[in-house]
Structures are given as structure tokens and as C-alpha cells.
Chain A
Amino acid sequence: MNSASASLKDALLGLIPNLRAFAVSLCGDIERADDLVQETLLKAWNHLDSFEEGTNLRAWLFTILRNTYFSECRRRRREVEDRDGSKAADLSVHPEQPGHLDMQDFRRALDVLPLDQREALVLVGAAGFSYEEAAKISGCAVGTIKSRVNRARSKLTDVLSVNAPHEYGPDAATEAIVARTVGGAR
């Protein structure tokens, strides 16, 4: 028997689009994302009584979603992170339009970031959570979130600089390549 208030249930409904956006950023396609949101909603509904009204519902839902996703990944023994960055290294070679900063390039760059970095970057840079909130959602220290965000931004900067040498200048492009080959980015 679910005694949670009607307004809480309305709030839940209102947060579905946000959850979908977060889910897509984690798993990469909208269909899997919606399945993930479905599972999240079921769990949330069944645990609504344990949610303390007045606290951060959005953060609570995001936590359920990412925990569900991460444990599903482990269950499927899927490669969760591109740890050696080899996918990211290939990325900069084929921009859609050389010399033009392209949204497609950015999306692709985002998709090949290691999962924990992409999660941190999206929580802080897109979903608007504070570092502290993001740390709670991800179950790690604030310092860990900060370092993941820095690494993510650093990798994206490299990719964007190499893809758009005319916009950013040859210095940046050269530096990005040097940084990658001399063992800066991993």
C-alpha cells in the first residue's frame, strides 16, 4: 500500500523527461534509455514510502537510475569503461566537416568518454547538480567527481581542438596531438 502523496506522484511524472535525458547520456540510445527509465520508475514507485518528502526527489531518482544501470552493466559483463582511451584517440581523425565545430563530433566524443567521466560531466555540466549532489548520486567523494569532470573536459577539449584547427588555431591542434602521443591523455 503506497501512502505517498499525490503531489509526490505528480512530481515523479514531471521528472520523467529529465530522467530520460540522463539515461540517454549513460547508455547511448533512446530505446535502452526508456527501458532503464521504466525500471527506475517501478523501483521508485515501490520505495516511495521511504523517500523523505521535501528532500531532493530529482537526486533520489537519478541515484536509482544510475545504480540500476551500473549493476545491469556488471550483470551483462559489458565493457563499462574505455579505460585506455583507444576509442577516443581514433575519434578526432574523421570530423564531419573539417575545420567546423560540429555537434555530431561533440556527441561522438561524449559517447566514447569513460562512463564514470561522462556521468560526472553530465550531472554537473548538463543536469545542473552541484559537485556535492553529484558525489552523492554517484556514491563517491566530491574530489573524485571533480577529477572525473576535469578529465572529461580535458579529453573533449583535445578532440574539439583537433577537429577544428581553423577555429582554434594550429597551436592547439599540435598541442593536442603532442599531448596524446607523449602520454598525457590515457
Chain B
Amino acid sequence: MKAAEFDYARAADLDDVFRLLDGAQGEAKIIAGGQTLVPLLVMRLARPTLVVDINGIAELSGIAADETGVTFGAATRQIDALEAAGVARHAPLLKKALALVGHPQTRNRGTIGGSLANADPAAEIGLIARTLDAEIEARSSAGGRQIAADAFFTGAMSTVLSAEECLTKVRFPVWPGRVGTGFEEMSNRRSDFALVAVACQVAIDKAGVCTRIALGVGGAEPVPVRASDAEKRLIGTRLESADINAALNTLAETLDPLSDVHASADYRRRVAVHLAARTIASARDEARA
């Protein structure tokens, strides 16, 4: 398990990144934390001619959090995000998910942007990005663009990013008002990738009526998905059990899960509905508290 030959370059700044990517005829890979890329390299499942290291680029790491949003430089370590007070305050759903990303040692090295760019179907950070409609910034020598999370993932381990683009930032919008969050995942071992993960954020008014809800499901389909029909049915309710159960019938019908050695599609569908009910309830309770 030794990687095939490649060239390595440590980029000094973003312009350096773009120059390196442009010069590699689409055969370059960016390395940040390396927690997903290195296994692919040593198993020779990825065979770039050039690996561009973005770890030394100051503007790619850092966290800015305020009442409107939490923005991460792409190379921000997961551990730093997990421990940041601003994340706990303004993006509690992300914090809940980050605690379940890999192991302590992979969180110390793994990055927010790296998890998004590698787009594992079961990755927690991608699920939260999809659930909260995060805005992803990508830049290249041709300029920059903002990509909505719902347009970002194109399949298992694939995104809309071109080989010349570098994911630079991701911004998780903060919802105003009385907000609660819930995150649950089912994995074989606690630290494994989820067979199914469900994230939920709700906002309620003073009467306890749901004014806004985001319900995302990861691990079930090749990309994280939103339970849009269920969301629509839940807005305007008080998120009581009956409301939740009624809404989740549509989730069971619309979800089109994967089947693999670990679990059948039916299993994932049942568990998604089950976890969705729990996350909605806990988000509701948190919002009410």
C-alpha cells in the first residue's frame, strides 16, 4: 500500500494553488488534512500526478462566527471547529455532528473543506452543509463562485468542483429566532461512517409553532438529501408526535436508499424515518427550552 508516484508541491498562497492546478492538466489533487485522500492514494484508487498542499495558506484556515453565519476557511481543522465557542453558539447542529466525525486523531488533522470536497455519502459535515443550505466558495485562476450546498454534491465521492478549483470557504447561515437542533446517526461501531445519519434544525414561534425546518438525511443515498416534503408538512405544526409521524410517511416514500454489505435499502429507510422522528423531537424540545 504505497502510493503511485506523484509530485508534491506546498502552495504558498492561493495564486500558487491556482498556478499549480492549472499546470497539471486536470491531474492534480489538493491535500489538506489528507484523512480521505491519503488512503485513496496508498490504495492507488486515486492517481494524481501532482498533490498540492494547502496547509500552509493562512487565509484558508480560520473561523468567523456572528449572528448571521459561521464561516470556515476550507483548511480549518475539524478539532478547531469542534472546540470553537462561536460554532457552539451559532452552529450547534454542526458541533453535534463534528463530535461524531471519525476519531480524535482524524479530527486533529481532518478539515472542514476536505470532508466536503471528498463527498463521502455518509460524511457528517456534508450532511450539515446540505441541511443548513451552506454556501460553498470555490476559487480558481478564472475567479470565484458561490455554490449552494444543494448543487454541490453530484454523487458518491463527487462534486461540481473542477480539477482547477479549490474549495476555499464554507458558510453556514445562522437562523434567527428560537432555534433547536437534533443530530442522530446509526453506525455499526460508534466511530464508523453512518449507515444513516439525520440532522434537523427547527425554528418555532412563541406559540411553539414550527416556522422553519430543515431535515437532512445522510448515508442513505449517494449524496446527502433533504426531506423537503416532510419539511413542508411540518411547517405550521407544533411538531407533536402525530405531526412528525404523519410527515415522515412521505420520507419513507421518497427516500431511495443504498443497499450494501452493512444494510439493506429497507433497513436504511426504516432507520432514517426512526432517526428523523427522534431528531425532530429533540430539535423541537431544544427550541422550546
Bound together = no
Interface residues of B (CB under 8 A from A): none
Interface residues of A (CB under 8 A from B): none
